[in-house]
Structure 1
Amino acid sequence: MEEPWLEIHPDFKLNGKPYTLSKLINVAEAMQFEGDKEEKILADFLLNWLYPKDTLLASTSGSTGSPKTITLDKSKMIASAKATGDYFNLYEGTTALHCLSANYIAGKMMMVRALYLGWHIDVVIPNKYPLSQTKKEYDFAAMVPLQLQHSIDELHRVKKVIVGGAPVSPVLEQELQSLSTALFATYGMTETITHIAIKKLNHRTDEEQKLNAYTALPNVSFTVDKHNCLVIDAPDVTSEKVITNDVVNLISESKFTWLGRADFVINSGGYKVHPEQVEQVLELVIDAPFFVASVPDSELGEKVVLIVEGKEDSFPEIDYVGLHSFQVPKKVFFIDEMIYTTTGKVNRNKTKEKLKL
């Protein structure tokens, strides 16, 4: 049986050094014993990838339900790597910055792309200042919004950057418009082996700006279920259709705009409120961590509320211009510190529990 994951592209380089299969295994084994936490995570992934078995285990983030461990087909991971290379024209000799933890699918796939496509990849600590750890220029990098936000002044050293893990706020998006770097928001999840749709964040045409839509990668198509949740058909990377928890406006079988998570939707007096849409407006006026949620209400069923990290007595009055009356929060709750997930996202339910809402 063919095992292409056991073949390292002859142009592959890790931190400036070329590797044979046996040498890379030896280095990964040494990292397991001598490396720091993130080096050990990367070493574990490399050894699992280079082991003669056609699948590996990966943890989901909960995008399609509760977090769980799933089995991924290595041949489909290679197909995903090839799709990224083809879409962004990133072939052998591409210089890439790896600044994501290999604990998650995005970090795993950066290494798979490098191994299979022949990239020259540099690994840095996956903190919020990735470009401060190197002075080199790169063709490509993948980041989360927090890393992007703290890399604005150095982004000119990277030609193309994909951003995932969370939505890019309107405030941050505004800062990206004058940058030379081509920036793209990605839509995907562990089940689809990272991104299966792309949206430009800058250098957009007027039509792209107006639509603000995600576009499918080749051989990917979309439908919606009865709740208007996105259904993904991507046979190259997953053997079954993926039914998501994301409510979308389906423009065509290859384009959609994202509205929010189905499990976050608030039914307030018969109006359906997507917290994420309200948050996009409030991002422009609230300079603190916050999120929009709901609490039970005898008249409305659920009423929209705002939860802000900070002190009430030092917080300025909030301007709700741009929101419909049914979207405007009826009450503001303040909390000293939000509760966050291991991936750095606000844990809405746990934070509400902390406030006893």
Structure 2
Amino acid sequence: MPVSTDLDDLVGAVRDALDGGPAVVPLPLLSAQAPPSGTALVVRTSGSTGTPREVLLGAAALRASAAATHTRLGGPGRWVLTLPPTHVAGLQVIVRSLLAGTPLDVAPPGPFSPDGLAAALRAPLAGADPVYVSLVPTQLHRVVDAADGGAPAALQALTRCGGVLLGGAATPPRLRERALDAGVPVVRTYGMSETAGGCVYDGVPLGGVRLRIAATGVVEIAGPVLATGYLADDAATAAAFHDGPDGRWFRTSDLGTHDDGVLTVLGRADDVIVTGGVNVAPAAVEAVLSEALGAEVCVVGVPDPEWGQRVVAVVAGDAGAPERGDGTQGAADELARIRDVVAARLGRAAAPRQVHRVAALPLRGPGKVDRAAVVDLVRDRTR
């Protein structure tokens, strides 16, 4: 379909594409090549590993993903759109709504706000259908913070939903616990554009989805939700998708473990920090610090003449706090405490050597932290 900013046009085009109509292209194509026959949706990746790619999804994959989601959640329901309809998570909300045959409710235009979410949930929660919503951790953070600040309407509304999907980025353990304690039916999702969105819920694959861990520790996924490949990039398609005697598999960029049927994602393979000859997984450090500090954290490696890479943590939500490395005794004491917390859980090599505070972490796509921008921020502050 031609690029359109009108949501009604987009919803209509997605409906047609699911029934065999022209491919939906919600963002201008990066390639001059037209999508091949059988494509229902062309989704642009966030480009977190470099140049964005355009993922080709067929109607069967979109339908399989939506059906498996509804089965896992307990049945079709009414969906509320809070995410950009240009990325796979937002587009899948549209697909699920269409296949459920229920009205699509949309959060107010403009930046996300807890009040806007509460308003969007009001009408669907008054009906008889189960109500579902898909959020990224940053949005849930704002809802929880608003409740703690005396504005609980959005959090209370979420507790009445049939399911609150949370994906797009790692969920800090403390945030998840806070939401669950309040009664929010949080479901952590894992997936990407190449798998038609989330395909693993709370560590367990959706129906028809299979997982395995390659010898390199990288997560691989198979099942009816897979994309057909990348538009105008045969080399990337061949590198990521491969056929074998047990079916077609997609090789992710994530490290993980798959024990007793539950997937644990350890972070991106290309994000691993090598410091003093020791491999450090940023996601593991982020989880420990998020729990200890009650804030969103991004951990990156920056060049260091002694260690090769220096582990640095950037904490969101307190831009006015002193830098943990500004030379004051209080800052030194807090940095030491933070290092001790991480070292006790993950070893001394994983302990950050610097901590920076920012008002908010830079994002790329819905809820995804822009790690390259975080590294640039740290470099600018330490020049």
Structure 1 pair 328–117 and aligned structure 2 pair: CA distance change class (3 A): same
Alpha-carbon contact 1:312-1:334 (below 8 Å) kept: yes
**Residue in structure 2 matched with residue 343 of structure 1 by the alignment:** 366
Q: Compared with structure 1, are the counterparts of its residues 225 and 256 closer, same or farther at alpha carbon in structure 2 (3 Å cutoff)? A: same
Q: Are residue 174 (structure 1) and residue 177 (structure 2) matched?
A: yes
Letter in 1 for 2:9: A
Q: Deviations over 1:77-106 (max 9, x none)?
A: 112111112222223xx2332222211111
Task: Say whether residues 1:226 and 2:218 are aligned partners.
Answer: no
2:54 is matched with: 69
Please say if residues 83 and 90 of structure 2, whose CA atoms lie closer than 8 Å, have aligned partners that are also in contact.
yes
2:379 aligns with 356
Give secondary structure in 2 for the equivalent of 1:158. coil
Answer yes or no: is the 8 Å Cα contact 1:63–1:189 preserved in 2.
Answer: no
Per the alignment, in what secondary structure is the counterpart of residue 75 of structure 1? Answer: helix
Q: Describe the shift of the 1:106–1:342 C-alpha distance in structure 2 as closer, same or farther (beyond 3 A).
A: closer
Please tell me the residue identity of whatever aligns with 1:76: A
Given that residues 42 and 102 in structure 1 are in contact (C-alpha distance below 8 angstroms), is that contact kept between their aligned partners in structure 2?
no
- Summarize deviations over 1:190-249 as a string: whole Å, max 9, x none: 1100111110xxxxxxxxxxxxxx111122111222320101111354454111111101
CA, structure 1 residues 128+188, in 2 after alignment: closer, same or farther (shift >3 Å)? farther
Task: Give secondary structure in 2 for the equivalent of 1:295.
Answer: strand
The one-letter amino acid paired with 1:102 is P
Shift of 1:265: 0.5
What is the letter of the counterpart of residue 277 of structure 1? A
* Counterpart for residue 86 of structure 2: 103
Question: Following the alignment from structure 2 to structure 1, what is the Cα–Cα distance between the partners of residues 210 and 360?
Answer: 41
**Alignment partner for residue 90 of structure 1, among 62, 67, 75?**
75
Q: Which residue does the alignment assign to 2:322? A: 313
In structure 2, stretches of 5+ residues that fail to align are: 23-37, 144-153, 229-247, 325-330
SS at match of 2:175: helix
Shift of 1:65: 6.5
Could you say if the C-alpha distance between residues 271 and 156 of structure 1 is closer, same or farther in structure 2, counting changes exceeding 3 Å? same
Q: Is the 8 A contact 1:224 1:230 kept in 2?
A: yes
SS of 1:241 mapped into structure 2: strand
Q: CA deviation at 1:257?
A: 0.8
CA drift of 1:121 comes to 3.0
List per-residue Cα deviations over 1:93-152 (Å, max 9, x = no partner): x23322222111111111111212223432223624222334231532222122223142
State how far apart, in whole Å, the 2-side matches of 1:333 and 1:143 are: 26
Partner of 2:140: 148
In the superposition, the TM-score normalised over structure 2's length comes to: 0.71
Identical aligned residues as a percent: 27
TM alignment of 1:232-271, pairs within 5 A: 232-238=221-227, 240-251=248-259, 254-271=261-278
Higher helix proportion: 2
Q: Which residue of 2 aligns with 1:81?
A: 66
Q: 1:76 to 1:64 in 2, by over 3 A?
A: farther
The CA RMSD over aligned residues, in Å, is: 3.0
Shift of 1:186: 0.5
* 8 A contact 2:363–2:370 mirrored in 1: yes
Residue 105 of structure 2 aligns with an amino acid whose one-letter code is D
> Unaligned 5+ residue runs, structure 1?
1-27, 200-213
